């Protein structure tokens, strides 16, 4: 299952490979480049294996991401394993798949409030205007608790 969205993570170990597809079949033939530990990886797609494929050496639960940036640098697009055969390769820190469009809220259900504070010459709050100046509320400072 492939999802689009915003995906970011940190490479866990050294010599982590970027490949032309979400598979390790073909060994180095599919390797675009290798990257070191602790680099930030940014991706625009995430693929999770839901049907095992022995020819591509993937099993159910494998997760790969389509990488666009590594260490803040644009890369030739490729796929990097996040989890492969149960082993964690990249620690996902952001996993935000595109979702459904949020429902439209009717205008009469939207609550908007504003608060403007009025100060005196000593920079003390003396009052506030609420809801764009429609309501004036005098400010009563909190009474200091007794000491002792």
Q: What is the pTM of this model?
A: 0.63
Say yes or no to pLDDT of 100 above 60: no
The pLDDT, as a whole number, for residue 120 is 86
Domains, the chain, in order of start with CATH, read 2-97 (2.30.30), 110-138 (no CATH)
CA 62 – CA 1 distance, rounded (Å): 11
Q: Strands, DSSP E only, in the chain?
A: 2-11, 16-19, 31-35, 40-48, 63-70, 73-84, 87-88, 90-97, 115-119, 125-130, 135-138
Our CA angle for 98, 37, 59, nearest 5°, is: 55
With H, G, I as helix, E, B as strand and everything else as coil, classify residue 145: coil
Q: What is the mean pLDDT of residues 66-92?
A: 91
Q: State in Å, rounded, how far the first CA of the chain is from the last one.
A: 66
Mean pLDDT for the chain overall: 83
So what's the pLDDT on residue 133? 62
Question: What's the pLDDT score for residue 130?
Answer: 76
């Amino acid at each position: 299952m492939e999802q689009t969205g915003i995906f970011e993570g940190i490479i866990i170990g050294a010599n982590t490979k970027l490949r032309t597809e979400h598979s390790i079949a073909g060994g180095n033939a599919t390797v675009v480049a290798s990257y070191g530990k602790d680099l930030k990886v940014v991706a625009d797609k995430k693929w999770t294996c839901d049907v095992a494929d022995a020819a591509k050496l993937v099993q159910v639960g494998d997760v790969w991401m389509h990488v666009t940036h590594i260490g803040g640098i644009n890369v030739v697009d490729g796929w990097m394993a996040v989890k492969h055969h149960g082993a964690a390769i990249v620690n996902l820190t952001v996993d935000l798949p595109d979702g459904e469009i949020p429902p439209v809220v009717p205008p009469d259900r939207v609550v908007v409030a504003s608060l403007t504070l009025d100060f005196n010459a000593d920079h003390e709050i003396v009052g506030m205007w609420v809801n764009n100046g429609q309501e004036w509320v005098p400010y009563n400072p909190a009474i200091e608790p007794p000491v002792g």
